[in-house]
Amino acid sequence: MRNKTPQQPAKERVKNFFEVALGFSQEQAEEEARRCLQCKDPVCIKGCPVEVDIPAFIKLIKEGKQKEAQALIKEKNNLPGICGRVCPQEDQCEAVCILNKKKIPVNIGALERYAADYGLVHSQEFIVHSKKLRTTNYELRTTIAVVGSGPAGLTCAADLAKMGYEVTLFESLHLPGGVLMYGIPEFRLPKKIVQNEVDYIKSLGVDIKTDTLIGNTYSLEDLCKEGFKAIFIGTGAGLPQFLGIPGENLGRVYSANEFLTRVNLMKAYKFPDYATPINIGKKIAVIGGGNVAFDCARVALRLGTQAVLVYRRTENEMPARKEEIRNATDEGIPFKVLTQPVRIIDDGKGFVGGLECIAMELGEPDASGRRRPAPLKDSNFVLGVDTVIVAIGQNPNPLLPKVTPHLKTNKDGTIWVDKNFMSSIPGVFAGGDIISGADTVISAMGAGKKAAVAIDRYIKNLVTSFG
């Protein structure tokens, strides 16, 4: 039998922001590790976008070597505590695990998290270890700038530092981590885990400069003049999409980004101990069916409100992880499916007084392969809510392309890159959500890794041509 990840009971956890998934004990981890068949052709590795040697680290856990297991994972994955918690393993390594033929794959995510959490109590050891990983490639001290400290930027910066480059990472917010820090809630990804992994990356020698908005504080051209030999852009997809319906400018209408940033990054849930409040009512409609919508609804619940999730298709088409849908269901969040908002009603004082919706039915599949929702005639009704959170998607951050001449973009606003992750400006690379549109942590990390290799190749060519 697969060992399940223990959880805080639903009744308890809805009253706090502590982590829902509790992680394996040593006994559970070793028992789960014994389930791995140590396959000769370990297909799980191919299922991992950063190609962690999964059977090898599982074997180390089985032998009680948690520290060695973590060091092995970190050869490929700089953020294992984060990935062990938020990666969709069910679609990646666990989906292809040989034991999944019987629907009981090894719980690779929980084992990765178990190995990663070793660093939490032994972080000093790892800082010494990571200093040993640093090498110097050239007599020339080559400096690289990384813009944006989400998983793409952190990974690219860490890999370049391990290769011996001097890396400066610029972040516009006051804390590094991107969505990991400001978006994903504390109860799914504690901020001390993010901070711990950021500290590991700093210990590799990466210099992180926060409160610095590239494109405003400095342009890309300024960075080149400062002597940076290459630049990696990992600015993500943080521009919220709205519904374009009447009433979206009313008070207590939030984008998911603003709502989550206030609560996670600015700690509104600890107001007045922290200075940033959040003005919400008692009944909240969260519009959307992805991970972001679920995060908003579960945060709203923990802030003591009644939250309802409004989605225009059915539960089967929801893009959120199955685990998150199950968690939200256990916590008692109702889903209003086949429902499309058409207007946010003014309460007469400039705030939300209700949400007018129309019922939907599913028609033929659209380009995404999911059945297209169509409105049912004369089916309008009003949901009695006083706060609305719009969580229907994010677009690429537009600032850098807007202020940088010759930085080519695609129609959807993502930055154009060639197969080596180089943009239309030589020496300027990009990766993560800014090139793919909103995606996953591990795909952003995969892009950061590949871009680091491409940057190294680019710099070596420069050294050869000029040196």
Ligand X SMILES: Cc1cc2nc3c(=O)[nH]c(=O)nc-3n(C[C@H](O)[C@H](O)[C@H](O)COP(=O)(O)OP(=O)(O)OC[C@H]3O[C@@H](n4cnc5c(N)ncnc54)[C@H](O)[C@@H]3O)c2cc1C
Chain positions contacting ligand X, by CB under 6 A: 86-88, 147-153, 170-173, 178-179, 183-184, 213-215, 234-236, 238, 260, 291-292, 295, 397, 399-400, 432-434, 438-442, 444
Nearer to ligand X, 70 or 257 (CB): 257
Shortest reach from residue 255's CB to ligand SF4, in Å: 39
Pair 237, 255: CB distance under 8 Å: no
Binders in 17-46 for ligand SF4, by CB under 6 A: 36-39, 42-44
Pair 204, 134: CB distance under 8 Å: yes
Nearer to ligand SF4, 99 or 239 (CB): 99
Binding residues with ligand SF4: total (CB under 6 A): 14
| Residues contacting residue 241 through CB under 8 Å, at least 6 positions apart | 390, 392, 393, 394, 395
Pair 240, 399: CB distance under 8 Å: no
Nearer to ligand SF4, 99 or 265 (CB): 99
Shortest reach from residue 41's CB to ligand SF4, in Å: 8
Pair 455, 230: CB distance under 8 Å: yes
Nearer to ligand X, 173 or 250 (CB): 173
Residue 136, interface with ligand SF4 (CB under 6 A)?
no
Shortest reach from residue 221's CB to ligand X, in Å: 14
Pair 278, 262: CB distance under 8 Å: yes
Q: Which stretch binds ligand SF4 (CB under 6 A): 5-13, 94-102, 167-175, 450-458?
A: 94-102
Residue 106, interface with ligand SF4 (CB under 6 A)?
yes
38 makes contact, choosing from ligand X, ligand SF4, none, with CB < 5 to 8 Å by partner type, with ligand SF4
d(CA 36, CA 97): 9
399 makes contact, choosing from ligand SF4, ligand X, none, with CB < 5 to 8 Å by partner type, with ligand X
Please state the length of the chain.
467
d(CA 233, CA 227): 17
E strand map for 222-265:
230-233, 239-240, 253-255
d(CA 70, CA 118): 7
Shortest reach from residue 69's CB to ligand X, in Å: 22
Nearer to ligand X, 33 or 169 (CB): 169
Location of structure tokens 């959490």: 117
171 makes contact, choosing from ligand SF4, ligand X, none, with CB < 5 to 8 Å by partner type, with ligand X
Of 97, 115, 385, 417, the one binding ligand SF4 by CB under 6 A: 97
Q: Which of 43, 85, 83, 76 is nearest to 57 (CA)?
A: 76
At 342 the three-state DSSP class reads: strand
Q: Are strands 339-346 and 352-365 parallel, antiparallel or unpaired?
A: antiparallel
Location of structure tokens 């800082």: 127
Residue 52, interface with ligand SF4 (CB under 6 A)?
no
| Residues contacting residue 229 through CB under 8 Å, at least 6 positions apart | 142, 143, 144, 427, 459, 462
Shortest reach from residue 438's CB to ligand X, in Å: 6
Residue 98, interface with ligand SF4 (CB under 6 A)?
yes
289 makes contact, choosing from ligand SF4, ligand X, none, with CB < 5 to 8 Å by partner type, with none
d(CA 327, CA 324): 5
DSSP state of 340: E
d(CA 324, CA 310): 16
Shortest reach from residue 1's CB to ligand X, in Å: 26
Shortest reach from residue 169's CB to ligand X, in Å: 9
Nearer to ligand X, 47 or 148 (CB): 148
106 makes contact, choosing from ligand X, ligand SF4, none, with CB < 5 to 8 Å by partner type, with ligand SF4
109 makes contact, choosing from ligand X, ligand SF4, none, with CB < 5 to 8 Å by partner type, with none
Q: Which of 45, 98, 100 is nearest to 73 (CA)?
A: 45
d(CA 55, CA 151): 24
Shortest reach from residue 77's CB to ligand X, in Å: 13
Terminal alpha carbon distance of the chain = 60
Instruction: Tokens for 300, please give them.
Output: 């709203």
Nearer to ligand X, 379 or 395 (CB): 395
d(CA 154, CA 448): 8
Of 14, 54, 144, 435, the one binding ligand SF4 by CB under 6 A: 54
Nearer to ligand SF4, 99 or 362 (CB): 99
Residue 55, interface with ligand SF4 (CB under 6 A)?
yes
Shortest reach from residue 102's CB to ligand X, in Å: 26
DSSP state of 218: B
Nearer to ligand SF4, 106 or 310 (CB): 106
The binding site for ligand SF4 (CB under 6 A) comprises 36-39, 42-44, 54-55, 97-99, 106, 108
